[in-house]
C-alpha cells in the first residue's frame, strides 16, 4: 500500500486571496484525514504566499489526532525553516532545493554539490526524531550520495513522468524512475514521489514497486472541485491501496 499525503497549499492560496481564515486549512485537513488519507503535506515558502509558517502548529496538532497519519513539511532547509519544522514536530521533512521566489519546485538536489552541506541539516532534524526525505530527479547516480547524507528517504520529482504520460516517451521515462527507485531501495532508502501526479497518471506510476508515499496537491484540488472531494479521495485511496 502507498500512503496518500494531501498537499493543502492550494487551499492556503485560496484563503490568502481574501484575508480571512476561509477556507480553513484545519477544517479541510480534518476532512481529508476523516476520509482516510494517511497524511497532510505543506510546503511553506519564504514569502508565505500559500501556507504560512504560523499554520504549522495547528495542522501538526490535527494530524496527531489521527493515529498512524503523518504531517510532512517540504521546503528549503534554511535555519528558520528547520527550526519551524522542529517546533511543530512534523513526522517527516522533505528537503527541496528551491530558490526563495520559485513558482513551484522544478528540480531535485544535485548531491555532488550539496550533499555535504545537507548532512548537518539532516542530522539536526533527525536528532528531533523527524524523518528526512530528499527531493531528487530520477537519476540513479544521485542515490549513493543520498544514502551518504544519512537521509532515510528520497522523494522522486515526478514532473517529467507526468509530462511524458500517454506519450511515446512514457516507457523510457518510467524506466528511469524505476531504476532510481530500485537503486534507492537497494541502498536502504525509502521512496516517496510527488509533483503533477493525478488520478489518470498515478496508477501506472505506482506500478513501480515499493513507493511508500505520494504527496499530491495541485491536480487533486482541481479534481475535487470538478468531481467532489469524497469521490476523488476514494478513487485515490483505491489506487494507493492496490500497490
Give the chain's length: 243
* Exposure string for 25-48, b = 16+ CB within 10 A, e = fewer: beebbbebbebebbbbbbbbbbee
Residue 218 binding ligand PXP, by CB under 6 A? yes
Distance, in Å, from the CA atom of 225 to the CA atom of 231, rounded to the nearest integer, reads: 11
Select which of 91, 195, 213, 223 is catalytic: 195
Would you put residue 154 in left (φ > 0), alpha (ψ -120 to 50) or beta?
beta
Shortest approach of ligand PXP to residue 198 CB, angstroms? 8
Q: How far apart are CA 99 and CA 77, in angstroms?
A: 11
Let me know if 195 is a catalytic residue.
yes
Q: Which stretch binds ligand PXP (CB under 6 A): 21-29, 76-84, 115-123, 214-222?
A: 214-222
Helix (H) or strand (E) holding 184: helix 170-186
Q: Which of 2, 72, 105, 180 binds ligand PXP (CB under 6 A)?
A: 105
74 is catalytic: yes
| Catalytic-role residue among 74, 155, 213, 223 | 74
* Contact window for ligand PXP (CB under 6 A) among 28-36, 55-63, 84-92, 210-218: 210-218
Per-residue x/- marks for ligand PXP, 169-208, CB under 6 A?
A: -------------------------xxxx-----------
* Residue 104 within binding range of ligand PXP, rule CB under 6 A: yes
Footprint (CB under 6 A) of ligand PXP, residues 39-58: 43
Closest residue to ligand PXP, based on beta-carbon distance = 194
Nearer to ligand PXP, 92 or 105 (CB): 105
Give whichever of 94 and 160 is closer to ligand PXP, judged by the CB atom: 94
Q: How many residues bind ligand PXP (CB under 6 A)?
A: 19
Furthest-apart CA pair in the chain: how many Å?
48
Closest CA to 43 of 7, 79, 17, 4: 7
25 in Cβ contact with 51 (< 8 Å): yes
Name the catalytic one among 43, 155, 213, 223.
Answer: 43
Residues 129-148 that bind ligand PXP (CB under 6 A): 135
- Cα–Cα distance for residue pair 2/186, rounded to 1 Å: 18
Instruction: Determine how many CB atoms are found less than 10 A away from the CB of residue 98.
Output: 19
Kindly state the smallest distance separating residue 113's Cβ from ligand PXP, in Å.
Answer: 18
Q: Enumerate the active-site residues.
A: 43, 74, 195
Amino acid at each position: 500500500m502507498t500512503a496518500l499525503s494531501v498537499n493543502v497549499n492550494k487551499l492556503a492560496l485560496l484563503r490568502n486571496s481574501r484575508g480571512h481564515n476561509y477556507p480553513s486549512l484545519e477544517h479541510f485537513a480534518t476532512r481529508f484525514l476523516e476520509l482516510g488519507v494517511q497524511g497532510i503535506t505543506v510546503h511553506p515558502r519564504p514569502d508565505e504566499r500559500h501556507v504560512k509558517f504560523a499554520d504549522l502548529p495547528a495542522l501538526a496538532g490535527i494530524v496527531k489526532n489521527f493515529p498512524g497519519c503523518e504531517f510532512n513539511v517540504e521546503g528549503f532547509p534554511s535555519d528558520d525553516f528547520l527550526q519551524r519544522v522542529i517546533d511543530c514536530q512534523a513526522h517527516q521533512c522533505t528537503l527541496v532545493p528551491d530558490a526563495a521566489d520559485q513558482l513551484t519546485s522544478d528540480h531535485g538536489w544535485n548531491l555532488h554539490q550539496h550533499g555535504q552541506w545537507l548532512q548537518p541539516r539532516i542530522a539536526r532534524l533527525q536528532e528531533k526524531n523527524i524523518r528526512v526525505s530528499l527531493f531528487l530527479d530520477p537519476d540513479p547516480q544521485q542515490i549513493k550520495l543520498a544514502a551518504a547524507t544519512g537521509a532515510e528517504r528520497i522523494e522522486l520529482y515526478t514532473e517529467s513522468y507526468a509530462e511524458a504520460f500517454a506519450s511515446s516517451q512514457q516507457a523510457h521515462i518510467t524506466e528511469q524512475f524505476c531504476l532510481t527507485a530500485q537503486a534507492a531501495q537497494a541502498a536502504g532508502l525509502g521512496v516517496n514521489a510527488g509533483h503533477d501526479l493525478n488520478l489518470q497518471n498515478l496508477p501506472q506510476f505506482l506500478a513501480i514497486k515499493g513507493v511508500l508515499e505520494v504527496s499530491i496537491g495541485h491536480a487533486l484540488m482541481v479534481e475535487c472541485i470538478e468531481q467532489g472531494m469524497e469521490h476523488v479521495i476514494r478513487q485515490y485511496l483505491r489506487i494507493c491501496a492496490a500497490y
